[in-house]
Amino acid sequence: MSDCLRKMLMSDEFNKAITSDKLKAAEQELEDFLRKHPHLKPYQEKIDDILKNAGEKRLEAIAILMAGQVAALQKAWLDLNEVAKALPIP
């Protein structure tokens, strides 16, 4: 697990309600996931880099990353909807 992600998971604001067992399980789950999906490792590294540079604003950085992905999904859905509208209805 990256140092950046470990620091985020160990931060006071994040760790208040999380036990060390849950943290270990989350670390193992991430490692297993990346092992099964190695093509996603560069994305995780990019996320780790962004979080490393976010300092105390890590949670805000995560929210921004998630909002960007939601916007991209919304655009893809709208594009797909336009394609579907153009199809003839049998």
Task: Give residue-wise pLDDT tens across range 43-62.
Answer: 899 888 888 888 888 888 88
Asked if pLDDT for residue 35 goes beyond 90, the answer is: yes
Which domain range does residue 81 map to?
Answer: 3-86
Helix, strand or coil, per DSSP, at residue 47? helix
Res 61: pLDDT: 87
Asked if pLDDT for residue 82 goes beyond 70, the answer is: yes
CA distances from 8 to 26, 35, 58 (A): 12, 21, 7
Q: What is the mean pLDDT of the chain?
A: 83
**Phi and psi (nearest 5°) for 37?**
-130, 65
The share of the chain scoring above pLDDT 70, in percent, equals 79
Helix, strand, coil share (%) of the chain residues, nearest 5? 85, 0, 15
Res 51: pLDDT: 85
Instruction: Count up the domains in the chain and report the number.
Output: 1
Q: What phi-psi label fits residue 55: left (phi over 0), alpha (psi between -120 and 50 degrees) or beta?
A: left
What is the residue whose two structure tokens read 């991209």? 72
Banded pLDDT at 1 (limits 50, 70, 90): low
Q: What phi-psi label fits residue 9: left (phi over 0), alpha (psi between -120 and 50 degrees) or beta?
A: alpha
* pLDDT tens, position by position, 2-25: 666 666 666 666 655 566 777 788
